[in-house]
């Protein structure tokens, strides 16, 4: 049935942090006040296994996902990016908007959502001007940076809409049979992922298009693969447990320092 409980354990030696994230995913809830994804992060003491903290995993997931997209965008976006487009108006749309408008300077921000009311609510809730578009194509046309954070199961972003040299952060479609991007866009872009193993088993955009993975984002950060910001680029984000671990330890250390 369309309901999932995910368990994501990870250990970071660099941070001396051990966590497990428990995340539930319920598709297409009728009660829209309940998020589709809900999560809790458990932080343990690696030296003896003691539970040190229980953290709001939904907040951590939203912020660490947007932070990784921002890193990818800093590396991969065109030199003079002026237009940001967000497809989707859920939790991840808000977290991406917050960090992208904090770190980058865009002259225009556009949003499209399948339900226009949610897009209008988004535009009135955030801190800066946002143009609500009547179609995904209108939102995407001419955009330099595109973020897809939808619950789509079939493509909503098409290659012939996308400006050459644009950068796309593909965050939705986290199942092997779900899509947000069409074959043309996947095959004619330089594809970056957070994890090759995860992308080849979990991402419908990657699996069903047969697109070749050029690099993991970590390889670009380490300097072993080039970023190629002059090309049209796609960063397929699935999320990694170690991102939750590092974020949870950061939050716990900040809280401990204040207490």
Proportion of the chain above pLDDT 70, given as a percent: 98
Number of domains in the chain: 2
Are residues 121 and 46 part of one domain?
Answer: no
pLDDT tens, residue by residue, 224-239: 999 999 999 999 999 9
**232 shares a domain with 104:** yes
Burial 155-175 (b: 16+ CB within 10 A, else e): bbbebebbbebbbbbbbbbbe
pLDDT at 32: 66
Same domain for 15 and 42, yes or no, is yes
Same domain? 77 vs 161: yes
Of residues 140, 164, 162, 161, the one with CA closest to residue 150 = 140
Average pLDDT over residues 240-250: 96
Q: Which domain holds residue 24?
A: 3-59+242-258
First to last CA, the chain: 44
Quote the pLDDT of residue 29: 59
Angle made by CA atoms 37, 154, 129, in degrees to the nearest 5: 65
Helix/strand/coil for 99: helix
What pLDDT does residue 206 have?
A: 98
* Whether 74 and 114 share a structural domain: yes
In tens, the pLDDT along 21-71 reads 999 988 765 666 777 789 999 999 999 999 999 999 999 999 999 999 999
pLDDT greater than 90 at residue 134 = yes
- Residues 106-121: tens digit of each pLDDT: 999 999 999 999 999 9
The mean pLDDT value of the chain amounts to 95
Return the higher-pLDDT residue of 257 and 31. 257
Q: Report the alpha-carbon distance of residue 222 to residue 236 in Å, rounded.
A: 18
pLDDT tens for each residue of 1-11: 778 899 999 99
On whether both 213 and 148 belong to a single domain, the answer is yes
Check if the beta carbon of residue 8 is closer than 8 Å to that of residue 241: yes
Regarding whether 249 and 199 lie in a shared domain, the answer is no
45: domain CATH number?
3.30.1780.10
Which pLDDT score, from 0 to 100, does residue 69 have? 98
- Rounded to whole angstroms, the Cα distance separating 118 from 151 reads 14
| 23 and 71 fall within a common domain | no
Give the CA-trace dihedral at 112, 114, 119, 122, to 10 degrees: -100
pLDDT, tens digit, for every residue of 216-226?
999 999 999 99
- 156 and 89 within one domain: yes
Whether residues 253 and 164 share a domain: the answer is: no
Q: Enter the tokens of residue 244.
A: 């939750």
Together in a domain, 31 and 79: no
pLDDT in tens, 161-205: 999 999 999 999 999 999 999 999 999 999 999 999 999 999 999
> pLDDT at position 25, please?
86
Do residues 178 and 86 both lie within one domain? yes
């Amino acid at each position: 049935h369309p309901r999932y409980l995910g368990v994501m354990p990870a250990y970071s030696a660099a941070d001396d942090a051990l966590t497990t994230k428990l995340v539930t995913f319920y598709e297409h809830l009728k009660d829209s006040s309940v998020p589709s994804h809900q999560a809790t992060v458990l932080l343990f003491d690696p030296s003896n296994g003691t539970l040190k903290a229980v953290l709001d995993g939904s907040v951590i997931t939203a912020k660490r996902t947007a932070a990784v997209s921002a890193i990818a965008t800093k590396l991969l976006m065109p030199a003079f990016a002026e237009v940001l487009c967000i497809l989707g108006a859920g939790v991840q749309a808000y977290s991406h908007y917050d960090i992208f408008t904090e770190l980058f300077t865009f002259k225009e921000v556009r949003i499209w959502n399948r339900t226009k009311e949610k897009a209008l609510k988004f535009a009135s809730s955030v801190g800066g001007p946002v143009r609500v578009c009547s179609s995904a194509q209108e939102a995407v046309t001419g955009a330099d940076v595109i973020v897809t954070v939808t619950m789509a199961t079939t493509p909503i972003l098409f290659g012939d809409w996308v400006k050459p040299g644009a950068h796309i952060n593909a965050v939705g479609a986290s199942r092997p049979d779900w899509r947000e991007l069409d074959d043309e866009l996947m095959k004619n872009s330089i594809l970056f992922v957070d994890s090759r193993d995860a992308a080849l088993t979990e991402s419908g955009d990657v699996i069903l298009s047969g697109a070749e993975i050029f690099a993991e984002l970590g390889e670009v950060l380490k300097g072993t693969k080039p970023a190629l910001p002059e090309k049209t680029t796609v960063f397929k984000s699935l999320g990694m447990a170690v991102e939750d671990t590092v974020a949870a330890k950061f939050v716990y250390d900040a809280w401990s320092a204040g207490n």
